[in-house]
Amino acid sequence: MGIGSLHTPPGPVTMLILIALLRGRRRILPGLLLLLGGIVACSPEAPAPTATDGGQLGEVLRRGTLMIATDPAFPPQSELLANVAPARPTRCATNSYTANQLRGLDIDVAVEVSRRLGVEPCFVTPPWAQIVSGNWNDRWDVHVGSMSITGERLQWLYFTQPYLSGGAQMFVYRDSTRFQSPADLSGRRIGTCAGCAYENYLNGTLTMPGQTLKFVVRDATVIGYDTDTSALSDLAQGDGARLDAVLTDPDTGRKAIADGLAVKPLGEPVYRDYVAISLDKHSSADALPLVIRLSQIIRDLHSAGFLSALSLRYYQYDAATPASQYDLAMLAQYPQR
């Protein structure tokens, strides 16, 4: 009977033993068994399912995988790599990606969170509109894709403790001298991601829990794109050729500049936000136990300095510490447990 035909998927310990056997490393098995026995006995990072692991959390632990939705073209946060075969062996379904097939800050967060849950991360890349609207029909468990916490999204999504803080930055054509500040873009053509918080900001409808936003751009002609990177590519065609500006996060804009696009930031960010893992409020199993567990893992990653180090690696500044201080309780998502 092969690995793929097991009726009950092997646990993390069994997987490591099988890998050792398949690679012909029988001599290391006694030490491996002793080491893994100690890890299972005392590590909180690979919990076995118990009667108290209810709802969606219990399902994830029993299945041994965390199905994660993310963006395939949002560097440096997430990016699908070309011509990379899935890792083997894997529990991930054939219509999903294994961790080695993607890269980026969000991917690293998802992989570490999965490791601390004791499960394998598996990735899918549905359209943003499907993710942000909730009602996922159990096609994936969580979204890890730099989604900001907004008042509107709280109607159908749960959010964990934020793992990063960010902002919304205007970018214009590199050689443009027409605009001195974001307020000068009122009435202009501004590209941004369709259905995202940036679009809501430009339309004057965005709400951020605990914040009072100042809408400095008025009556813009908002042009929606599937990804921010596509909008930046159009902006780089020339000053006013297709767009007058793009609203995106500062790091995506900086990455575009580093990749050679002819764009530049305009002024300071127009608002600050906090990004977190999101879960569907309408999942068939109760998502709250998983929300609570994931929030604790994120807090542990903040305390360990993991997220600050990750931010410094990708962005060259610490975007994590402000997120560690975010008061998740103010969202009133669930009773304290």
Indicate if 191 and 157 belong to the same structural domain.
Answer: no
Is pLDDT at 135 greater than 50 in this prediction? yes
- Do 143 and 85 lie in one domain? The reply is yes
Three-class DSSP category at 142: strand
Q: Is residue 32 included in any domain, yes or no? A: no
In this prediction, residue 336 carries a pLDDT of 54
Structural domain range at position 107 = 55-164+274-331
Please list the alpha-helical segments (H only) found in 64-186: 105-117, 128-132
Query: Which is it for the CA torsion 101, 106, 111, 114, positive or negative?
Result: negative
CB atoms within 10 A of CB 76: 17
Residue 327 domain-assigned (yes or no)? yes
DSSP conformation letters of 20-36: HHHTT-GGGHHHHHHHH
Q: Is the pLDDT of residue 29 over 60?
A: no
Residue 19's pLDDT is what?
A: 41
278 and 241: one domain?
A: no
Q: How far apart are CA 71 and CA 255, in angstroms?
A: 16
Would residue 96 count as lying in a domain? yes
Both 267 and 287 in a single domain?
no
| Domain CATH number, residue 141 | 3.40.190.10
Please tell me whether residues 180 and 306 are part of one structural domain: no
- The β-bridge relationship of strands 263-280 and 157-159 is antiparallel
pLDDT single digits (tens) 177-221: 999 999 999 999 999 999 899 999 999 999 999 999 999 999 999
Number of domains in the chain: 2
Give the C-alpha separation, 27 to 42, whole Å. 25
Instruction: Kindly state whether residue 11 falls inside one of the protein's structural domains.
Output: no
**Backbone conformation region of residue 111, classed left if phi is above 0, alpha if psi is from -120 to 50, else beta:** alpha
Domain co-membership, 186 together with 247: yes
Is the residue at 221 inside a domain? yes
Name which residue leads in pLDDT, 116 or 15. 116
Residue 301 lies inside a defined structural domain of this protein: yes
Say whether the peptide bond before residue 76 is cis (omega within 30 degrees of 0): yes
For helices 228-235 and 250-258, angle between their N-to-C axes, nearest 10 degrees: 50
- 26 in any annotated domain: no
End of a domain among 240, 257, 273? Answer: 273
Burial degree of 276 (CB within 10 A; 0-12, 13-18, 19+): buried
Let me know whether 268 and 296 are in one domain: no
Mean pLDDT, all residues of the chain: 87
In a domain, 262, yes or no: yes
Using the 3D structure, point to which of 273, 292, 308 is the last residue of a domain: 273
pLDDT at 52: 55
188 and 263 in a single domain? The answer is yes
Phi-psi region of 50 (alpha: psi -120 to 50; beta: other; left: phi over 0): beta
76 and 214 assigned to the same domain: no
Residues 144-180 have pLDDT tens digits of 999 999 999 999 999 999 999 999 999 999 999 999 9
pLDDT of 120 > 50? The answer is yes
Closest CA to 199 of 132, 275, 145, 143: 132
170/260 same-domain check: yes
Q: Is the pLDDT of residue 255 over 70?
A: yes
Does one domain contain both 286 and 327?
yes
Residue 161: predicted pLDDT: 98
Average pLDDT (15-33) is 40
Q: Of 223, 249, 273, which closes a domain?
A: 273
Distant-in-sequence, close-in-space partners of 59: CB < 8 Å, separation ≥ 6: 285
Of the ranges 11-15, 108-112, 162-166, 265-269, which one carries the lowest mean pLDDT score?
A: 11-15
> Do 159 and 109 share a structural domain?
yes
**Measured between alpha carbons, how far apart are the two ends of the chain, in Å?**
43
